[in-house]
Amino acid sequence: MRKIKIGVIGAGYLGKFHAQKYAAMTDVELIGVADVFPEIAHQVAQANKTKAFIDYRELLHQVDAVSVVVPTPLHHKVASDCFAAKVDVLLEKPMTVTLTEADDLIGKAAKGGHILQIGHLERFNPAIVAMQDYLTCPLYIESQRVHSFKPRGSEVDVVLDLMIHDIDIILHVVPSPLKSIDTIGVPVVTKETDVATAHLIFENGCTANVSVSRVALDNVRSLRVYQPGSSLVVNYATKEIMVIERLPQLTPEGYHEEKTIHFCFTEKDALAAELTDFVENVRLRRTPRVSGREGREALEVALRIIDQIRNHIDRHKDVLCRG
């Protein structure tokens, strides 16, 4: 079996992990890592026994595919150059800054017959994968994703930084078009929104409340799904899922008895699973689990949420800014 030749563009915090995972794959040849900061490029390349590139364009003619792990505003430019060089792309989330850019990349990938996979990592979280077997008809969803402040990722709105993960999961599990969105959010540390909540209502009646913060004291990444006869609780961080089923039997008090099933997948690596899937998509020329179309859908909802929050802040800035 021919080894797939892979490169990593962007060797920062997340890019170095992409390089590590590829370097460990027996069916992949990690050709090189590229970064505009020479020291970072050489450090990550040396750690993974590959070559460092300062200009990513010099890498493109040597590879079949790349992970693009650069700041979001550069996604469109870098991915466009990759497609022009006939290279398949795993593009980290959020897909792009604008829908116009997203549509352009989808069109270029389709025209050239290239793989475009979007890096919504939580789709490969083993707890989320296991959850699929227990979903019936979600009626109400609660999602919370909060953590303490870190400068990394703060160049974009918290909705694009964090909430887009949960938007993608919810759009994936609810088999209905989105009907309406109500939001609230405020900047706290950065000039962008740092805390936000979105209330999503779908055409089939399902409702989702999504809360995110990057200025919290603790770290929580959880998802709760309520549906007829059961509820599901996912802890993203610990890769655990609990399924609570209501049984026909009644307790002495007249309530339905409950059966709880618990799964824990701490030994499974979501990033390794995502990158393995990408390599197989490149090899077999198959549509990714998270395609450009799905990346665009999540981006569209995220941008609608951001617009609502900004309009709210603009209308009430005199009140909101009072000490």
CATH code of residue 95: 3.40.50.720
- Which pTM does this prediction carry? 0.92
What is the band of 100 on the pLDDT scale with cuts at 50, 70, 90?
very high
Domain co-membership, 27 together with 42: yes
State the Cα–Cα distance between residues 310 and 306, nearest whole angstrom. Answer: 6
- Over the stretch 173-210, which tens digit does the pLDDT of each residue have? 999 999 999 999 988 888 888 899 999 999 999 999 99
Domain co-membership, 167 together with 237: yes
State the Cα–Cα distance between residues 45 and 74, nearest whole angstrom. Answer: 22
**145: nearest Cα among 38, 255, 222:** 222
State how far Cα 24 lies from the chain centre.
Answer: 23
Domain range for residue 99? Answer: 4-120+271-290
Q: Going by C-beta distance under 8 Å and a sequence separation of 6 or more, which residues neighbour residue 2?
A: none
What's 66-87 look like in SS3? EEECCCHHHHHHHHHHHHHCCC
What is the band of 323 on the pLDDT scale with cuts at 50, 70, 90?
very low
Read off the DSSP letter of residue 295: H
Residue 282, both tokens? 């490149």
Domain co-membership, 66 together with 132: no
- What pLDDT does residue 218 have? 87
State the Cα–Cα distance between residues 19 and 11, nearest whole angstrom. Answer: 8
State the Cα–Cα distance between residues 55 and 45, nearest whole angstrom. Answer: 14
What is the band of 322 on the pLDDT scale with cuts at 50, 70, 90?
very low
- Over the stretch 63-79, which tens digit does the pLDDT of each residue have? 999 999 999 999 999 99
CATH code of residue 216: 3.30.360.10
- Residue 155, pLDDT above cutoff 70: no
- What pLDDT does residue 240 have? 97
Is 322 contained in some domain? no
Domain co-membership, 263 together with 237: yes
Is 262 contained in some domain? yes
Tell me what percent of the residues of the chain surpass a pLDDT of 90: 82
According to DSSP, the β-strands at 230-235 and 220-227 are antiparallel
- What pLDDT does residue 173 have? 96
Residue 32, both tokens? 């090189």
Is 297 contained in some domain? no
Residue 280, both tokens? 């197989």
- What pLDDT does residue 189 have? 84
Domain co-membership, 277 together with 263: no
Domain co-membership, 18 together with 87: yes
Is 321 contained in some domain? no
- What pLDDT does residue 311 have? 87
Domain co-membership, 178 together with 257: yes
Is 65 contained in some domain? yes
Is 320 contained in some domain? no
State the Cα–Cα distance between residues 313 and 187, nearest whole angstrom. Answer: 9
Q: Give me the chain's average pLDDT, please.
A: 94
Is 296 contained in some domain? no
Mean pLDDT of 213-229: 93
Domain co-membership, 8 together with 92: yes
Domain co-membership, 190 together with 152: yes
Residue with tokens 């069109």: 107
Domain co-membership, 181 together with 285: no
Domain co-membership, 113 together with 171: no
State the Cα–Cα distance between residues 323 and 312, nearest whole angstrom. Answer: 18
Residue 24, both tokens? 């460990």
Domain co-membership, 260 together with 280: no
Give the count of domains, the chain.
Answer: 2
What is the band of 321 on the pLDDT scale with cuts at 50, 70, 90?
low
Per the document, the length of the chain is 323
Is 224 contained in some domain? yes
What is the band of 289 on the pLDDT scale with cuts at 50, 70, 90?
very high
